[in-house]
Amino acid sequence: MAAQPLAHWESALCDCFEDVNTCCYGFWCCPCLACTVSGRFGENRCLPLCDICGPGITAAIGLPLCVPPAVLSLRVAMRNRYGIKGSICKDIAVSCFCEWCSWCQMHREIKRRTQSPTAITVQQQNIIQMQPAPIMMVPAYSPPQAGFVSSPGVITMSH
């Protein structure tokens, strides 16, 4: 079976005006956006808290943390799942220098990939041309007139 060709991200890293709601959400509450992206992708919603709390905790114990682990791991996982072109080096650079934009890009990607497709069902309709049922024309009923009325074999006279 041939491998599928790799695609590009549905939106560029800084395509904020393509989906203003996502970028406004990311600007005002990026931790909330990051948790939403993580949850929609099928990971633990608290995963992005590693990026928020991680640097402080690791610096407190003497280990500098340069690359935010949650955004990097989710970005790499998304590229692999959706077959998006890129490299780990680019993912590290984006995760280090454009973390909030990366969360917005991933949110836009998930929104586009998880939209319900619009299905249009076209059914062939059988058209049957029928002629109307034959109608017998019956003359209107008229009461018998005074005089001779004949029935088969009977002759009657009325007064």
* Residue 150 main-chain phi, psi, to 5 deg: -115, 135
- Domain assignment of residue 124, yes or no: no
Tell me the one-letter amino acid at 23. C
Domain with 103, as residue range(s), is 16-113
- At 2 the pLDDT is 55
- Domain assignment of residue 52, yes or no: yes
Q: One digit per residue, pLDDT tens: the chain, 159 residues?
A: 556 778 888 888 888 777 777 767 666 677 888 888 999 999 888 888 877 776 666 667 766 667 788 889 999 999 999 999 999 999 999 988 888 888 889 999 998 888 766 667 777 777 776 676 667 666 666 665 555 555 565 555 555
Q: Structurally, how many domains does the chain consist of? A: 1
Q: Could you tell me if 35 and 46 are in contact, meaning their C-beta atoms sit under 8 angstroms apart?
A: yes
The predicted model scores a pTM of: 0.63
